[in-house]
Chain A
């Protein structure tokens, strides 16, 4: 099984390390032909506006959007969540996203969060993070903050977190993506 990591900008090597710890092969995705043969893709944290522009510039936007629309396994963290939830971006998750939802870098924070199906809390690292204001009925909310803001969710084969599991040592979200989503999908990108 090979999982791709969108490598245009952002915390790419961090996701590579997490997936290696899940015993998965990884492949860096820089151009459309790199998509061939992967079974899932991670969209890392970074600057969502930059990644969006580079996707369009490198002609990766349309092929990636097509994959997402056809239920291809995707895991997006922070900027990845923004791109997946924005209807004018990849439109892979039915929800309304608030970019920089907690404020500027000064307001960036760490907090332990309760996640559905995890027995112990997860170390959430929120950096100029977005959140989901509301989600559609097909979306399963995995984690909310005390004030109700949605910070992790899943819709079919799309998994998103507003925080950065790739900045921690905790591989539970990556495992969830590999074991429950990618392993149960039979789509291989052509």
Chain B
């Protein structure tokens, strides 16, 4: 008997994306540029994070017609975002057949208390995390893939670096802990003991962890891969750069060869200007998307 929607096929799908770049696209034309550049998937959304930031107001799931148009235009997987806790948006995206749902802090959260119970869906979910506790809470809810939250739409890599390093540091701490300490660590992390124990035994997360939120150059992608990211999400970075096709291709190359610096130097030459960034300290806590849904 064939079984669909199992943990293995959900997590496995994310494993097949490793070493790749998932690009935010807002229309069919951009999706085709992303596919041509070598993206492993596209994230279909109406506005990239920096535009959501600029526009203000409530950010919601994208128009299903727009998501479907992109699904029809490319052969690579298509992801789409639902608001945190918005089970109806998630069901709609599942129904139209998107390959992965991002329960995303980039959109305005719909539920202050609960994330979506992702175990109940056929389609896998990716969620953001800033530390190991958040990572394990999302996995417990059924997330089959993680990404750093970073600070979306800023073009500033510092928060993604912080989140990746924090998770890695806490994994090392859990790995080194004694059985007694694990109970205490689970309590401090506000994460289920079973998952903390699993990280202790395996020395790694049970799902892949990509970098997201602020990646805007090939060098940023290489930096995150060197810090242990399994792959890269690029939001505003590509289509807000001067030459999106060239930028996209360069970021794919840097992600595939993160320690080949002569190659990364080559693809970084004459790229034109990257997206204009935002210094994190100029954002108030309310303006930080990473603080949503923790």
Interface residues of B in 245-267 (CB under 8 A from A): 252-253, 256-257, 260
In Å, the complex CA distance between A103 and B2 comes to 14
Verify A47–B16 contact, CB threshold 8 A. Answer: yes
In Å, the complex CA distance between A78 and B38 comes to 18
B122 to A, closest residue via Cβ = A106
Verify A54–B252 contact, CB threshold 8 A. Answer: yes
* Residues A46 and B38 in contact in the complex (CB < 8 Å), given A105-B77, A105-B123, A111-B2: no
Q: Can you give 20 contacting A-B residue pairs, CB < 8 Å?
A: A9-B20, A9-B256, A12-B18, A13-B18, A45-B16, A46-B17, A46-B40, A49-B76, A53-B37, A54-B256, A104-B98, A105-B77, A105-B100, A105-B123, A106-B122, A108-B9, A111-B2, A128-B99, A164-B12, A167-B15
Verify A49–B35 contact, CB threshold 8 A. Answer: yes
The 0/1 profile, CB within 8 Å of A marked 1, for residues 1-27 of chain B is 111111011001101111110000000
A7, A14, A53, A108: the one within 8 Å of B13 (CB): A108
In Å, the complex CA distance between A78 and B12 comes to 12
Verify B8–A110 contact, CB threshold 8 A. Answer: yes
Interface of B is mostly: loop
- Chain B residues contacting A45 (CB-CB under 8 Å) are 15-16
Interface residues of A in 74-114 (CB under 8 A from B): 78-79, 99-100, 103-111
Verify B19–A110 contact, CB threshold 8 A. Answer: no
Among B6, B12, B39, B98, find the residue whose CB has the most chain A CB atoms closer than 10 A: B12
* Residues A167 and B256 in contact in the complex (CB < 8 Å), given A46-B20, A100-B75, A105-B123: no
B4, B16, B17, B260: the one within 8 Å of A106 (CB): B4
Residues in chain B within 8 A of chain A (CB atoms): 1-6, 8-9, 12-13, 15-20, 35, 37-41, 71, 75-77, 94, 97-100, 122-124, 252-253, 256-257, 260
Shortest distance in angstroms between B247's beta carbon and chain A's nearest beta carbon? 15
Verify B9–A109 contact, CB threshold 8 A. Answer: yes
Shortest distance in angstroms between B87's beta carbon and chain A's nearest beta carbon? 17
| Cβ-based interface call for A11 (8 A) | yes
- Chain B residues contacting A99 (CB-CB under 8 Å) are 75
B6 to A, closest residue via Cβ = A110
4 nearest CB pairs, A to B: A105-B99, A109-B2, A108-B9, A9-B19
Residues in chain A within 8 A of chain B (CB atoms): 7-14, 30-31, 45-47, 49-50, 53-54, 57-58, 78-79, 99-100, 103-111, 125-128, 164, 167
Verify B20–A50 contact, CB threshold 8 A. Answer: yes
Verify B123–A106 contact, CB threshold 8 A. Answer: yes
- Chain A residues contacting B8 (CB-CB under 8 Å) are 110, 125, 167
* Residues A127 and B38 in contact in the complex (CB < 8 Å), given A105-B123, A110-B3: no
B259 to A, closest residue via Cβ = A30
Shortest distance in angstroms between A78's beta carbon and chain B's nearest beta carbon? 7
Verify A109–B4 contact, CB threshold 8 A. Answer: yes
Shortest distance in angstroms between B21's beta carbon and chain A's nearest beta carbon? 8
Shortest distance in angstroms between B36's beta carbon and chain A's nearest beta carbon? 8
In Å, the complex CA distance between A32 and B3 comes to 40
- Chain B residues contacting A167 (CB-CB under 8 Å) are 8, 12, 15
Verify B256–A11 contact, CB threshold 8 A. Answer: no
- Chain A residues contacting B38 (CB-CB under 8 Å) are 49-50, 53-54, 57
Verify B76–A47 contact, CB threshold 8 A. Answer: yes
In Å, the complex CA distance between A30 and B260 comes to 10
Verify A46–B1 contact, CB threshold 8 A. Answer: no
B9, B13, B15, B256: the one within 8 Å of A8 (CB): B256
Verify A8–B4 contact, CB threshold 8 A. Answer: no
Shortest distance in angstroms between B37's beta carbon and chain A's nearest beta carbon? 8
Verify B97–A47 contact, CB threshold 8 A. Answer: no
A78, A104, A107: the one within 8 Å of B16 (CB): A78
